[in-house]
Amino acid sequence: MDLDEASDLVAETDARELNGRATRLVELTDLLGEEMIGFSGQAAQWLFEDVKATWLYGYFTGTVLNAYAFCMHQLAGLVRMLEDDPSLPETAASLEELAEVCDRRGMIDLDLRASLVALQDSANVYLSVGLHEYGALLERRMIAAALLSDDHTLLADARAALGCSIALLHRRPS
């Protein structure tokens, strides 16, 4: 393939996907609003840019995984702003664990904690693998989701992950 052929192929793909990207940009802009609170470090900022980019370009698995990592960094940043607590572990093993720590300290509400646990569950579909047999966790999620929603499972997971990310981006420390 030469450069001209590659350019034509990219232009065709862009034209086909333009409407979907524009729709997702409108949704993202509405969700972001005007208020930006800040990031818990450079990694969180880069991860949030990736959350937005993967959402806009329709790479929804990437949205889920980037949102998972972003939320980990944002929650850890909230915890670091508290007084030192020797009872806290040195690191957090999961988003669920961090959400529990933040909920117990009144830094997030129960609804956001539940959303973060759901994000942990959807990220685990992609982050865990069986070495002895294939686990059909994704397929089971897709069947269950088809019974409850008209949205594709991955789109619903990505939209929920985006919502968690934005909720934490706008979260003010207590």
Identity of the highest mean pLDDT range in 51-60, 78-87, 142-151: 51-60
CB 59 within 8 A of CB 68: no
Query: Would you say the pTM of this structure is higher than 0.95?
Result: no
pLDDT in tens, 60-116: 999 999 999 999 999 999 888 888 877 788 888 899 999 999 999 899 999 999 999
In whole angstroms, give the CA distance from residue 159 to residue 60: 8
List the single range of 28-32, 36-40, 45-49 with lowest mean pLDDT: 36-40
The secondary structure of 111-155 as a DSSP string is HHHHHHHHHHHHHHHHH---SSS---HHHHHHHHHHHH-SS-HHH
**pLDDT-based confidence at residue 138 (cuts at 50, 70, 90):** confident
